[in-house]
Amino acid sequence: MLKAFLPLMLALTTSAQAVELHHITVRTGTDGLSPVSLTVANAGREPLACNADIAHWYSVELAAVAPGKTASLELWFDPSSGTYAALNDKRENLPVERLWCGIEGRAYATRSQIALDNGAAPAARQLTCSDRTGSLACE
């Protein structure tokens, strides 16, 4: 009886593993994008790490900010779609799902999310981040 089910099991296993691949065109460069002026000042006593979540499981560090220093986060805005992008070393556009800064070494646990304005032309912003009882506040 087991021999009778073996071909069926193999057929189901083979079809369940089939994957259809599609070509994906990744946008590169900054043509059609507007630079976003976003400066982060570290008013705390510990270094900061500012990150962009670019996929549900992946984030990229945009800047490290030493105590008493400031850093500019390089972001780009697409007015036609209302999305923000960070560029990688190949100048590929990485869509930003969320932007946040936290205390270096425990950035995610202490993070302060930075709201991104999806308006037609995002205004320049300057944020000051400070440690508030174990978590970061960026205003």
pLDDT, residue 7, reads 56
The pLDDT value given to residue 11: 55
Burial class of residue 49 in the structure, from the number of CB atoms within 10 Å of its CB (0-12 exposed, 13-18 middle, 19+ buried): buried
- Residue 40 confidence (pLDDT): 98
Q: Residue 76's pLDDT is what? A: 95
In angstroms, rounded to a whole number, what is the distance separating the alpha carbons of residues 20 and 41? 46
Q: What pLDDT is attached to residue 70?
A: 98
Position 6 scores a pLDDT of 52
Residues in the chain: 139
Nearest residue to 34 via CA among 71, 80, 72: 80
Tokens linked to 55: 């996929």
Q: What are the average pLDDT values for consecutive 10-residue runs of the chain, which has 139 residues?
A: 54 62 85 94 96 88 97 94 92 94 94 86 91 88
Pairing of strands 98-103, 93-95: unpaired
The pTM for the full model equals 0.79
Burial of 107 (0-12, 13-18, 19+ CB in 10 A): buried
Tokens of 24: 């994906």
Per-residue confidence (pLDDT) for residue 57, from 0 to 100: 78
